[in-house]
Amino acid sequence: MEVHAEREGKILITRAEGRVDGTNAREFEEALHAAIGEDDRLLIMDLQNLSYISSAGLRAFLMIAKKLQGRGGKLVVCSLTDTINEVFEISGFSRIIPTHASRSEAVAKHGG
């Protein structure tokens, strides 16, 4: 699992790669906390290269989403594979975390 962070204007964008499961979910969450600066309000997580996620990994998404909401910001996800999308749907995450087909769509919708 790897987390890469970059910025597009005021938007923080992270790319998660590989597997996020019970063995590394804590590490994944810590990497995200470390990437989020004090002034960050919008985090777009590009999940194109996320190959696997379990409930342990979903927990990290929820923690980050709550953290950002707590400061008036939000977590947005994009480019989910079909199977990851199914897990998000089953978990009801699609109802509480805005989900977009592509990064450009997510930036266009939330970046303004």
Partner 1 sequence: MSRKLSLEIDPRVEELSAITAAVEQFGDAEKWPPDMVFQINLVIEELGLNIMTHGKSEDLEKIEITLTAEGESLTIEIVDNGHPFDPTREAPEPDLDVGLRERAIGGLGIHIVRNLVDNLRYRRQGGRNHVTLVKERVR
Q: Please report, as ranges, the residues that interact with partner 1 according to CB under 8 A.
A: 19, 21-23, 51-52, 54-56, 58-59, 62-63, 65-66, 69, 82-83, 87, 90-92, 95-97
Quote the least distance from Cβ 56 to partner 1, whole Å. 7
Q: Which two tokens stand for residue 48?
A: 């194109």
> Given 3-state DSSP classes, what are the helix, strand and coil percentages for the chain, each rounded to the nearest 5?
40, 30, 30
Q: Which is nearer to partner 1, 35 or 63 (CB)?
A: 63
Q: Are 64 and 25 in contact (CB under 8 A)?
A: no
Q: What are phi and psi of 72, to 5 degrees?
A: 80, 15
Quote the least distance from Cβ 69 to partner 1, whole Å. 6
Collapse the DSSP code of 40 into the 3-class scheme (helix H, G, I; strand E, B; otherwise coil) and give the result. Answer: coil
Q: Which is nearer to partner 1, 48 or 91 (CB)?
A: 91
Q: Which is nearer to partner 1, 17 or 21 (CB)?
A: 21
